[in-house]
Amino acid sequence: MAFQSSDMKKALAYYQNVHGWEDQRLITDEKGELAAAFVRINNRQWIELRPESAPHTDRLLKFGLEVDDAEAMRVFLASRGWAVPGTAATDALGNRSFAVQDPDGHAVEFVQSLPEGWPGRTGPQVSPRALSSCLMHLGFAVASLDKSLAFYRELLGCVEFWRGSSNEETLAWVQMSLPDDSNYIELMLYDQPPTLEWLGVLNHFGLEVTSMAATMEEASGRIGAKPYPREVSYSIGKCRHRLANVYDHDGTRAEFMERSTFDGQPTPSSTLPAPVL
């Protein structure tokens, strides 16, 4: 996922000191100022940071999905009538990619990792300080469930496996696994225009951990008395997974989560209707 940051140095320090991701690639502009930063999670996943274009705006810039052949994906989407660029090009990391807009206007980047690109599938091992080495899911705000399902399920082939709700009235979340992958996207539904603070909650990324208790003990120690936006604590979510949230200085949420439910039993899907904006 890619986010804009009000303070790039603070953001990089947060990912290094709290998350333990020490492999960071920095790109400067012609004035020598930091123009972009990439924080490596593993050989195929990373977080991208850009200086904010304007204060008090949505932090999410885009999110990426890996494909075997970016140009073939571009041609496929074009054949289905989707607006695509003229070609898949080599990007700043030396990989081949292009981006389209989903029904909510999110920039979705399709990335073909190349051997010479960063971070490279044969790059260094994950830092021993990393609290997680797997970006397990991407979550993003969705106004119309039907339109999103048409794009992510019908067009891209994602497979829905769970629906959840935070109340007894409407759906709140729809989770869909990526084709040929155990990782997934999470459609974060809403029925009122979200505030900037709420967007920081909706537009998030989930990180797999094996032990929530051990992860939170380590994370709490690293955060200490630092002025991060919210207290770190963990609980059992509506999905019946152990999970916890940490936030950067801009209020962007990272969610730690164990892959299985706390008791190993499946969580029934909600049958409630989707909210209507």
CATH of the domain at 49: 3.10.180.10
Which is nearest to 209 in space by CA: 242, 238, 161, 176? 242
DSSP assignment, residue 150?
Answer: I
Higher pLDDT pick, 219 / 228: 219
pTM: 0.95
pLDDT band at 277 (very low <50, low <70, confident <90, very high): confident
Q: Is the pLDDT of residue 122 over 90?
A: no
Q: Is the pLDDT of residue 208 over 70?
A: yes
Q: 255 and 180: one domain?
A: yes
Q: 148 and 104: one domain?
A: no
pLDDT of residue 270: 97
Q: How many CB atoms lie within 10 A of CB 251?
A: 16
Q: 150 and 254: one domain?
A: yes
**Could you give the CA distance from residue 206 to residue 244 in angstroms, rounded to a whole number?**
10
In-domain check, residue 271: no
Range of the domain at 164: 135-261
pLDDT of residue 120: 81
Which is nearest to 162 in space by CA: 248, 238, 67? 238
**Could you give the CA distance from residue 87 to residue 85 in angstroms, rounded to a whole number?**
6
Q: 103 and 148: one domain?
A: no
